[in-house]
Chains A and B, each alone.
Chain A
Amino acid sequence: QSVLTQPPSVSGAPGQRVTISCTGSSSNIETTYNVHWYQQLPGTAPKLLIYGNSNRPSGVPDRFSGSKSGTSASLAITGLQAEDEADYYCQSYDSSLSGVVFGGGTKLTVL
């Protein structure tokens, strides 16, 4: 059971918009700790997609955006493309556990 809760799967047709939620608690997301998102394509290492709740590293398309409010964060992907099919993970820090915490991961299927 992960400290951060994500839906196991989401899906959408090419061109559509999907969102992936990440729900935490008062010891992680609700505090000043940031939320980060990673994309893991099949058979590869995770890659940073969003850092500091809503910032995109250089090279990440602006189709990807992040937000945080209260005990939850969200990753939105607009203009879905086939190459977006991957697993997505949120990550934060938990003050009760004194360590990094991940969500359980969400598998995105592009129909």
Chain B
Amino acid sequence: EVQLVQSGAEVKKPGESLKISCKGSGYNFTNYWIGWVRQMPGKGLEWMGIIYPGDSDTRYSPSFQGQVTISADKSISAAYLQWSSLKASDTAMYYCARHVSPITVAAPWGQGTLVTVSS
């Protein structure tokens, strides 16, 4: 079974750094793209960016370029979403999802990681 499992919920203070993970199983992790999606409380889905673990080719949404870093470690079938200095406005649920290519459908999705940033 193809599965993406994300790391657990995080509670952080403004200014702190954070790295959340998304681990794939049941398929060749290096042959598919992993995308990241933000969902703020009570709001819709926003595409943040995408990475190809095979060669770390990474593309960002203009809205998130410079705000986050997407990376991957193909040796352990993991993709990451990282912040160097969190803001309260980063409070959201973050999902990862698998793509065949950047233009294709996202499936399956991880279960989501809730990030809460509060002083």
Contact = CB atoms under 8 A, between A and B. Distances in A.
Interface centre among A33, A45, A52, A103 (most CB of B within 10 A): A45
B108 to A, nearest CB: 7
B34 to A, nearest CB: 12
A45 B105 contact: no
Contacts of A2: 44
Given A105-B44, A105-B45, A100 B108 contact: no
A102 B61 contact: no
Given A45-B112, A93-B102, A97-B61, A102 B107 contact: no
Interface string B87-119: 000000001010000111111111110000000
Interface in A1-34: 2, 33-34
Contact of A47 (B46, B62, B102, B109): B109
Contacts of B97: 46
B105 A52 contact: yes
A109 B109 CA distance: 24
A48 interface: yes
A1 to B, nearest CB: 11
B109 A100 contact: no
Contact of A45 (B44, B59, B109): B109
Contacts of A46: 37, 45, 95, 97, 106, 109
Interface string A83-107: 0000101010100011111111100
B24 interface: no
Interface of A: 2, 33-34, 36, 38, 45-48, 51-52, 57, 87, 89, 91, 93, 97-105
13 contacts: A2-B44, A38-B106, A45-B95, A45-B111, A46-B37, A46-B109, A48-B107, A48-B109, A93-B103, A97-B61, A99-B47, A99-B49, A102-B47
